[in-house]
């Protein structure tokens, strides 16, 4: 698409991340035999790769197991801000956890930022790293007051911040809170160099290898779908949603939220900085260099996965915002991503349960995965090496705060029950043969709920709509051409293959019964 080709409302036909499209990553084999290592790392995103890098450089033998390709999940679809300004969070942390833990949360993110910067300098990585001030701004009186309260939290925690009454855009704001000296980068260029270092140190990497369960012996063993077994002193689940829950009930302690990204060449020059709205729907802006030209990532429109009736409208809303604020000349990329939020908004990093200290998890980054994912890797590395880490209690997955954890536990699980029942009761008489090409919908065949997608050539693809995680009913995502689960965020291709967990098994072509998953030996639930 050239500048002259831009037509309002005409977005790229298919979603594609700029980060993945601009990075040539090496390919790795599928695991086809049994191996034994010091640390088994499941998940090839920023947490898994950074952890493997740290441990390999300490002389440990590590193996990364990735269900798809490296960096093809949340990390490959991030907005790549490296910051400790995670929306309005610090006043809430002080209220719910206390001042000392709120300060620790900030320190963990700053240490992650410094680690990334130092690693880039040490390895001389060309990844478009730049220091930027981060802004969160309000457009309503309600959020103006919340930012004033958050600014007071910054003062209590000795965070370098400042309230201002304007930002360099044509946006009428009430106020904005700045956090100085944060950063942005090209995450895959950075992580590609870490991958090279891991392999040079003897680390093993396997792609297209799905981990499904753990045998909890003296040395835990990861079981894979196709039979390969990986035994280690530690198993580290860095797979977005833990592939192994170990009775930790993580399906009931997190929810998945999607957001959308446009990469746009704008008429107005970007003024520098990274920006996010406090108000909803979220609007986020940062610069990015694409093919030597400065462009802008326009981000936002978050919603719970599987709970939007028209996902393309979110891209359209971002386009409208970008056109009004900066003007648009072209939109070469669009993509979306999702992340998980915990009951108290702080990631779960550490032993999956109190009784399983050799099986560690890292999850629940709330869309701030560059800093939280790196902080997780630093903590996981210390845990494996037996070193004390001041962040262990803060991120301990077994923690539980009566307020807000108990309230949110019932709210989120009530939402799951609502969608579980709603999906089971939904009836449709839509004839799949009447579907236009390149459209999908829920249909009924012999009284059974099914999903239908007719591709561009007119071929019809039918799947059972019962999610293979805990049995909720998936919904059609027209923007990504996927079936998305509104309960825990699992996503499937139009042919039924798993795109994103926690589901491990594809949608079936026959009538799926949840008991089949619960009684299966190759399940981590």
What is the structure's pLDDT at 401? 66
Q: How many helices (H) and strands (E) does the chain have?
A: 11, 24
Band (pLDDT 50/70/90 cuts) for residue 456 is confident
Strands 62-65 and 35-42: parallel
Confidence of residue 414 (pLDDT cuts 50, 70, 90): low
Rounded average pLDDT over 471-489: 86
Phi, psi at residue 383, to the nearest 5°?
-65, -45
**pLDDT for res 211:** 93
Mean of the per-residue pLDDT values for the chain? 89
Catalogue the long-range contacts made by 54-58 (C-beta closer than 8 Å, 24 or more residues apart).
54/377, 54/378, 54/381, 55/381, 55/384, 55/385, 56/197, 56/198, 56/201, 56/202, 56/203, 57/197, 57/201, 58/381, 58/385
CB 368 within 8 A of CB 301: no
Which has more confidence, 445 or 513?
Answer: 445
- Helix/strand/coil for 42: strand
Q: What is the largest CA-CA distance in the chain?
A: 64
Question: Half-sphere exposure of 270 toward its Cβ, with a 13 Å CA cutoff?
Answer: 23
Q: What are 134-186's pLDDT values in tens digits?
A: 999 999 999 999 999 999 999 999 999 999 999 999 899 999 999 999 999 99
CB 518 within 8 A of CB 506: no
State how far the Cα of 391 lies from the Cα of 292, in Å rounded to an integer.
40
Q: Which residue has the tokens 């130092």?
A: 118
pLDDT confidence band for 432 (50 / 70 / 90):
confident
pLDDT for 423 beyond 70: no
Q: In this predicted model, what pLDDT tens digit does every residue of 327-355 receive, in sequence order?
A: 999 999 999 988 899 989 999 999 999 99
pLDDT for 518 equals 45
Helix (H) or strand (E) holding 330: strand 328-342
Residue 519's pLDDT is: 44
79-85 mean pLDDT:
97
Q: Which of 225, 228, 292 is nearest to 520 (CA)?
A: 225
Give the ranges where 59-129 is alpha helix by DSSP (H).
90-97, 99-123
Confidence of residue 255 (pLDDT cuts 50, 70, 90): confident
Contact yes or no for 462/450 (Cβ under 8 A) = yes
Q: How far apart are CA 86 and CA 367, in angstroms?
A: 9
Higher pLDDT, 313 or 62: 62
Q: What percent of the chain has pLDDT over 90?
A: 65
**Rounded (10°) CA dihedral 38, 42, 44, 48:** -60
Q: How far is 482 from 502, CA to CA, in rounded Å?
A: 15
Does position 4 have pLDDT exceeding 50, yes or no? no
Tens digit of each residue's pLDDT (9 = 90 or more) over 216-239: 878 999 999 989 999 999 999 998
Instruction: Between 470 and 166, name the one with better pLDDT.
Output: 166
Query: In the prediction, which pLDDT does 431 show?
Result: 74
405 — pLDDT class (breaks 50, 70, 90): low
pLDDT tens digits for 5-40? 566 767 998 899 999 999 999 999 999 999 999 999
Three-state DSSP class for residue 259: strand
Q: What are the backbone angles phi and psi of residue 454, rounded to the nearest 5°?
A: -105, 115
pTM of the model: 0.87
Are the CB atoms for 240 and 340 separated by under 8 Å? yes
* pLDDT of 62 strictly over 70: yes
Instruction: In whole angstroms, give the CA distance from residue 257 to residue 25.
Output: 27
CB 351 within 8 A of CB 357: yes
Structure tokens at 333: 């990329």
pLDDT value at position 357? 95
Q: What confidence score (pLDDT) does residue 525 get?
A: 41
Expressed in angstroms, the distance from the first to the final Cα of the chain is 46
Give the highest mean pLDDT range of 96-110, 438-452, 493-507: 96-110
Q: Please state the rounded mean pLDDT for residues 451-473.
A: 87
Binning the chain into helix, strand and coil, the percentages to the nearest 5 are 30, 30, 40
**Burial of 124: CB neighbours in 10 Å, binned 0-12, 13-18, 19+:** exposed
pLDDT score, position 147: 98
pLDDT at 1 over 50: no
Report pLDDT digits (tens) over 307-334: 777 888 999 999 999 999 999 999 999 9
Confidence of residue 418 (pLDDT cuts 50, 70, 90): low
Q: What does the alpha-carbon distance between residue 319 and residue 262 come to, in Å, rounded to a whole number?
A: 7
Question: Of residues 520 and 86, which shows the higher confidence score?
Answer: 86
How many residues are there in the chain?
525
DSSP secondary structure, 443-507, as one string:
EEETTEEEEEEE-TTS-EEEEE-B-TTT-PBPEEETTTTEEE-TTT--EEETTS-EEESS--SPP
The pLDDT score that the predictor gives to residue 469 is 81
Question: How confident is the model over 94-108, as a mean pLDDT?
Answer: 97
Q: Which pLDDT band holds residue 523 (cuts at 50, 70, 90)?
A: very low
């Amino acid at each position: 698409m050239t500048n002259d080709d831009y037509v309002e409302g005409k977005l790229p036909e298919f979603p594609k991340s700029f980060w993945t499209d601009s990075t040539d990553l090496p390919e790795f084999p599928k695991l086809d035999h049994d191996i034994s290592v010091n640390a088994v790392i499941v998940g090839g995103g920023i947490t898994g790769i950074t952890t493997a890098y740290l441990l390999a450089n300490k002389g440990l033998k590590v193996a990364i197991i990735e269900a798809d390709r490296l960096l093809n999940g949340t990390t490959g679809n991030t907005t790549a801000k490296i910051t400790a300004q995670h929306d309005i969070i610090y006043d809430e942390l002080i209220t719910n956890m206390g001042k000392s833990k709120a300060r620790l949360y900030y320190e963990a993110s700053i240490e992650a930022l410094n680690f990334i910067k130092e690693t880039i300098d040490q390895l001389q990585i060309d990844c478009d790293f730049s220091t930027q001030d981060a802004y969160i701004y309000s457009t309503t009186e309600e959020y103006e007051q919340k930012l004033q309260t958050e600014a007071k939290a910054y003062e209590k925690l000795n965070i370098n911040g400042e309230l201002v009454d304007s930002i360099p855009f044509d946006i009428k704001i009430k106020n904005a809170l700045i956090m100085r000296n944060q950063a942005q980068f090209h995450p895959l260029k950075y992580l590609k160099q870490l991958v090279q270092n891991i392999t040079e140190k003897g680390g093993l990497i396997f792609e297209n290898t799905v981990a499904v369960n753990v045998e909890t012996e003296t040395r835990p063993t990861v079981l894979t779908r196709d039979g390969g077994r990986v035994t280690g002193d530690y198993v580290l689940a860095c797979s977005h949603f833990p592939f192994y829950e170990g009775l930790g009930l993580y399906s009931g302690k997190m929810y998945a939220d999607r957001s959308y990204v446009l990469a746009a060449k704008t008429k107005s020059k970007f003024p520098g900085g990274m920006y996010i709205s406090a108000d909803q729907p979220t609007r986020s802006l940062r610069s990015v260099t694409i093919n030597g030209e400065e462009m802008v990532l326009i981000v936002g429109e978050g919603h719970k996965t599987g709970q939007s009736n028209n996902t393309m409208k979110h891209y359209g809303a971002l386009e409208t915002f970008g056109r009004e604020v900066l003007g648009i000349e072209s939109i070469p990329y669009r993509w979306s991503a999702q992340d998980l939020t915990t009951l108290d908004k702080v990631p779960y990093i550490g032993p999956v349960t109190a009784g399983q200290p050799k099986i560690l998890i890292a999850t629940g980054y709330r869309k701030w995965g560059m800093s939280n994912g790196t902080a997780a890797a630093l903590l996981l590395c210390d845990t494996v090496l037996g070193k004390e880490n001041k962040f262990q209690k803060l991120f301990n997955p077994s923690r539980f705060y009566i307020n807000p954890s108990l309230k949110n536990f019932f709210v989120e699980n009530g939402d799951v029950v609502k969608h579980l029942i709603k999906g089971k009761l939904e009836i449709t008489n839509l004839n799949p043969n009447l579907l236009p090409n390149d459209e999908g919908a829920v249909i009924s065949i012999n009284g059974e709920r099914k999903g239908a997608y007719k591709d561009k050539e007119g071929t019809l693809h039918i799947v059972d709509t019962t999610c293979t995680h805990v049995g909720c009913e998936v919904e059609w995502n027209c923007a990504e051409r996927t079936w998305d689960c509104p309960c825990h965020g699992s996503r499937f291709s139009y042919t039924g293959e798993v795109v994103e967990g926690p589901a491990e098994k594809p949608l079936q072509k026959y009538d799926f019964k949840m008991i089949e998953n619960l009684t299966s030996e190759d399940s981590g639930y």
